[in-house]
Structure 1
Amino acid sequence: MDIDRDQYHILKQISQGPVAISKCKKRHREWLDTLCLSTALLEKVKAGAGAHYKKGEGLQTFLQGMNDQFDLEYEDLSEKAQNLADGKETKNRRTAQQVMYLHLKTLKPDIFAIHRRKQINLSNLTALCGVAGIEVTPDDDWRFIRQGEAPVLLLVENRQLFIDLDWIEKVTETDVILQYPGVLSGPFKSWLSQQRFKKIIHFPDYDGIGLREHLRLRNALNGKGVEFLLLDEFKDLITKWGTSSIFLKDKNHEAFIKAAKTIEENDSLIGLRPLTHLMQELGKALEQEGVELLN
């Protein structure tokens, strides 16, 4: 007979002493009544105006065969391990808390991350280790502080730009830089939407996917506290160093057409129109590394 974890714990409780019927959920009572009628595991005994379940002759032996499967430190297991212990599928399931690991660098002193009453000096970690790493989930309570207010965050995709920060002072001012893997995941956008930073500056590739990801980020943040890093020299950079092969690549070009249409229809995105118009006119895209070509 196959049983699940809840049923196992009910039977184990009954094995340790009688359990009143009123203490059991309706769906469990129906199952327990069936066991009383069809097996020697349980007995249903009247007691005054009510009744209770008590162990039968075969219950202890039956439970001994289940101990290895169910007597685990269940709450300490990962979701996949819990599913396995419960006889469920372990594939194609997202982890319960959607854990992410973020790499950050600080560009100014005394920037702190605060979580569950613990305070971490990210500036000291960056100076000591070159980078600071934190484990996050979409709805956690991480907060970031610099001189009493939330810092400015710069999002970049390219690893080299994350390693060598000399270019930043030429184009913008920020407090923290964070590298992301090209596509902004749903959990990561949810995490960013919790008003953890004073402002988010997004610096994607100047191509269809980069524009698409920026629009998705704006949508996740309801258009508040996020801006696109458009280099002052973008016209010269795209004209001289832009790449047609990237712009015309199937998925990239499809993403560009959709993003450009959204930008044309939304007046709050008017600042991006010079970029999309030039990209369409020249048929070129520019990867982030183009910033390294600035004098």
Structure 2
Amino acid sequence: MTEQALRAALLKLQGKSPLPASQFTAAQRGALDQFARQTGAVKCLRQGRGDVYSVCNQAVFDAHVTQLSPQVEPSIAEQLPLRAQHVAHARDSKARRHQHGSYYPLLKAVGDTVSWREVERGAELALSAATREFGAASLSIQSDDAWHSERALWLVENQALFDRTDWLPEGTQASLLYYGGQLDGRLLSWLGHRPRASQVMLFADYDGVGLSNFRRLREALGDACDFWLMPQWESKLARYGSVQLWRDTLRHFTTAVAQLPAPVRELTEQMQQLGMALEQEAVWLPAS
């Protein structure tokens, strides 16, 4: 029996014994049957046209429930962070949906006039000043907040592009946001809730994961975002492209490619022709 199925079955039965078998999934019924054979704390009886499960040894039943699910009072649980609730439910912070409610993007200013404002609260993050003083800054974002910047927002997949910004077009005034491989769903929800910047630009690896992230970004923003193609990308793809990276991310590429806009099509066609993918760091390499 799986611990998860048994926990769910015992918690259903707790305080509601007897309970029709139809209230349990097949996995939960199997777990209850095995639990009944091993402990004698539960029994299954025929009643009318179906079976019912009931507790026949309350002390043993309660001991196993506590072992599987320590629990806390509902009035206390409601005030706890989600992962703390999961620990109380299953001794495991990741036992159920475990994503934290808040998200804290790492931001860095390029240029000396970059700021973010939350007009509904009258708050401001002077990002250029914070970058000069501390190297980077962050916001606690919620999808329905009003944070906005008059400058562009660039999303970069790898930290090297966040640390060193001389790859950006000359004269750029923008916020850089480092997202580390996969665009978080909370970030996408925040970006899609209302306009956040004058322009949203994604610079990702030219591989299946990077293109899949662009597809997801377009689902949230539509045409209000762009995919950045580095200068001389064609030559760099041919010279520095990786067959292994192409193979490793081909599944993501195949899923994403049909949903990408025309400006990215030339890139995807050359990737397919060469059977290669290209990492972001090639932006600093000579084309020939």
Q: TM-score under structure 2 normalisation?
A: 0.66
Letter of the 1:225 counterpart: A
Alignment counterpart, residue 136 of structure 1, candidates 120, 138, 141: 141
Give the TM-score normalised by structure 1.
0.64
Residues of 2 paired with 1:260 and 1:69: CA distance? 50
Change (3 A) 1:79 1:282: closer
Q: Which amino acid aligns with 2:234?
A: K
Bigger drift between 180-189 and 196-205 goes to 180-189
2:103 is aligned with 1:100: yes
User: Within 5 Å, which residues of 2 pair with 1:91-240?
Assistant: 91-94=95-98, 98-115=101-118, 116-144=121-149, 150-169=150-169, 173-193=172-192, 194-221=194-221, 223-240=222-239
Deviation sequence 1:230-280 (CA, Å, 0-9, x none): 12301100010000011012xx111112222334xxxxx111111111111
2:237 maps to a residue whose letter is: I
CA-CA distance at 1:109 after TM superposition: 2.0
Using the aligned pairs only, state the percent identity: 31
The separation in 1 between residues aligned to 2:74 and 2:271, in whole angstroms, is 60
Q: Distance in 2 between matches of 1:74 and 1:118?
A: 30
The CA deviation at 1:212 is 1.1
Give how far 1:83 is off: 6.8
CA-based RMSD of the aligned residues comes to 2.6
Q: Secondary structure at the match of 2:183?
A: coil
In the TM superposition, residue 161 of structure 1 has moved relative to its aligned partner by 1.1
What whole-Å deviation, never above 9, does each CA across 1:177-211 have from its counterpart, x for those lacking one? 11102111221101111211111010010011111
Amino acid in the other structure paired with 2:219: N
Distance 2:237 2:77 in 1: 58
Contact 1:154 1:174 in 2 (8 A): no
Deviation at 1:100, TM superposition (A): 0.9
Query: 1:259 maps to what in 2?
Result: 256
Q: Distance in 2 between matches of 1:71 and 1:258?
A: 45
Secondary structure at the aligned position of 1:218 is classed as helix
1:112/1:119 contact within 8 Å kept: yes
Contact 2:157/2:178 (8 A) holds in 1: yes
Query: How many angstroms does 1:284 deviate by?
Result: 0.5
1:285 aligned onto 2:284: no
Q: CA deviation at 1:283?
A: 0.6
**Distance in 1 separating the partners of 2:228 and 2:211:** 11
The corresponding residue for 1:32 is none
1:98 Cα deviation from its structure 2 partner: 1.8
* Closer/same/farther in 2, CA of residues 83 and 234 from structure 1, 3 Å limit: closer
Q: Give the number of equivalent residue pairs.
A: 212
Q: Deviations over 1:26-57 (max 9, x none)?
A: xxxxxxxxxxxxxxxxxxxxxxxxxxxxxxxx
TM-superposed CA distance for 1:225, in Å, is: 1.6
Deviation of 1:71 after TM superposition, in Å, equals 8.1
In structure 1, the residue corresponding to 2:140 is in which secondary structure?
strand
What is the DSSP-based 3-state SS (H/G/I as helix, E as strand, rest coil) of the residue aligned with 1:286? coil
Gaps of 5+ in 1: 4-67, 145-149, 264-268
Letter in 2 for 1:257: T
Q: 1:71 to 1:248 in 2, by over 3 A?
A: closer
In the alignment, residue 209 of structure 2 is paired with which amino acid? I
Contact 1:153–1:174 (CA under 8 A) maintained in structure 2 = no
- CA distance in 1 between counterparts of 2:187 and 2:75 reads 35
| 1-structure distance, mates of 2:165, 2:117 | 25
1:247 matches 2:243: no
Matches within 5 A, 1:4-15: none
Distance 1:72 1:258 in 2: 44
Mapped partners of 1:114, 1:174: distance in 2? 16
Alpha carbons of structure 1 residues 78 and 237: separation in structure 2 relative to 1, 3 Å: same
1:135 counterpart SS class: coil
